[in-house]
Chains A and B, each alone.
With several copies, the nearest count.
Chain A
Amino acid sequence: QSEGSNDKEQNKYHKMTLMLDWYPNAVHSYLYVAKEKGYFEEEGLDVEFQFPANPTDPLSLAAAGKVTMGMYYQPDVIQAVANEGIPVKAVAAVVRSPLNHIVFRADQPIGNPLELEGKKIGYPGIPLNETIIKTIVENSGGSYEKVDMVNVEFELGSSLVSKKVDAVVGAYVNHEVPQLKSEGHDVGYINPVDYGVPSYYELVAVTSEKTWEKEQKEIEAFWRAARKGFDFMEKNSEEALQILLNQQDEANFPLNKDVEMESINILLPKMKSELGFATQEKSSWEETANWLKDNGLIEEVPNIDELIVNILP
């Protein structure tokens, strides 16, 4: 009998999967808050989080309809839509400026992008990172040809500290940097926005066109709940972090509290928006798309109106 009622309980909720951009860390606190505090349930949602094994899985699985939404990177979304016609829509902007910084070992400091010439730079197999390096090196008057780019997939930190590469791009100022520091590896970083890279949205949420058609209501409900989570995170960042930390068990990505606290502090200003958390601005998409076009990463700027939906509070 109790099993039967359990089934009914579950049927009440709409099942949803969200693939994070990475293993859970401070940037996802609001999601875990929303889950823990029951905000999703209030909206009638049963949300499951997945973590990608492949850097591109959040986008490709969202596009293939294997997950409801995926967290991805604005420039990469634009490329996928423009170049391959991947049928996705961006539904929310989560982090509104680049976290992706160029990280180097402090014993071999790199003061200016010009010094990247002749160095080995590790990146996680995403071409955008090549463009970032190209943009900052060339804006500093250097030549991209002289930079040695190495695909290291997810092993950014390990390749840097094991001296397989001299610097990495694709590492996050809010994660890898404090993480490496806490492990005693002294590192420095360069913010690409300082050298000509547009301040693109680091993290957006995407879904497939088909999923949007079918589950628009639920997706909107999702972001209502997420906003509540974000409000909570903003006001009680320590408690929000604790909720995240409680979520992790040994099976998950073990997090360092100090690292994550620093991360939240870096993140909060980059996530906040006057218009409301997760809202999107067409201008940001246009600016980024044009930068990509100028760098030959896309041939045509896609129709932004079709690409994004702005879910207002």
Chain B
Amino acid sequence: MKRYMYSVLLLSVMLITWEVMARLVDVSFILPSPMQISIKLWELKDVLLQHHLPATFAVISLGLAISLVLGIAIAIAMHYSKVLEQALYPLLITSQTIPIIALAPIFVLWFGYTIWSKVAVTILITFFPITIGMFDGLRSTDKELKELLQTFGLTRSQIFLKLEVPSALPSFFSGLKVAVPMSVIGAAIGEWLGAQSGLGYFSRRMMTQFDGAGVFAPIVILSFVGIVLFIVVLIIEKYFLKWRKK
């Protein structure tokens, strides 16, 4: 891909600068070099991939799944009930302007160090973009098209499935693309606050060991999870919206 040439170049320059800087400064617990991180990653690959990654992944999947079910349900409910829309929509929007994540520590008190405290943080952070994406999508349905389908005698549920749901997909996927990286961040923050395994937990724990490379290694994997999940969503989106492409 020639168009990414400059990016790859820049990235390489950045990595090399980092490596050189890290070697010059030479305090690996403050600034480990990319090389040290890679080596650490290799050393720890078993424990990270077989123990901590599954724990984090469980949090991410559960959190996203619950957000999806809840968010889509509420979006549809708001779409069909004017009262619900008027009651919920302003609150949803307002909730986005407040640092709701500051509530995360409370979850630890409510759910203890179980997976649910981290799932709750993940839901808290991913619920909004999914709900708003779906709802705005449903609302974006072309009114004239909807009326046209009515004149063809289609029932309300036919119109919902054949017109409104497909109309909502682009906006829904936009929301999902925001939510997916957020879910990784949510899981990591949840794990900082109290956990016994998981990549966020491991990274924080390495901090207490003054192991700089060990702090970065799980972050590299977390980033990788974020990118992979994002690409998965892109692929699903492409499948559903394939009619858009040339």
Contact = CB atoms under 8 A, between A and B. Distances in A.
A155 B46 CA distance: 27
B193 interface: yes
Nearest to A79: B209
Contacts of B201: 53, 151
Contact of A158 (B51, B193, B205, B210): B210
B116 to A, nearest CB: 11
Contact of A80 (B112, B191, B210): B210
Contact of A251 (B113, B197, B204): B197
A84 B29 contact: yes
B111 to A, nearest CB: 7
Interface string A24-52: 00000000000000000000000000111
Contact of B113 (A84, A154, A164, A250): A164
B208 interface: yes
Contacts of B208: 23, 54-56, 125-127, 154-155, 157-158, 253
A56 B194 CA distance: 11
A153 interface: yes
B209 A253 contact: yes
A149 B29 CA distance: 24
Contacts of B128: none
A66 B209 contact: no
Given A55-B208, A164-B112, A152 B47 contact: no
A83 B209 contact: yes
B194 A151 contact: yes
B44 interface: yes
B56 to A, nearest CB: 13
B34 interface: no
Interface in A2-24: 19, 23
Interface stretch (A57-65, A89-97, A233-241): A57-65
Contacts of A249: 47
B236 interface: no
Contacts of A253: 205, 208-209
Contacts of A108: none
B105 interface: yes
Interface of A: 19, 23, 50-57, 59-61, 63-64, 66-67, 79-80, 83-84, 86-87, 125-127, 149-155, 157-159, 161-162, 164, 183, 249-251, 253-254
21 contacts: A53-B108, A54-B207, A60-B207, A61-B109, A61-B113, A63-B210, A64-B30, A79-B209, A83-B211, A84-B211, A86-B210, A126-B208, A151-B113, A152-B113, A152-B194, A154-B208, A155-B108, A155-B109, A164-B112, A249-B47, A253-B208
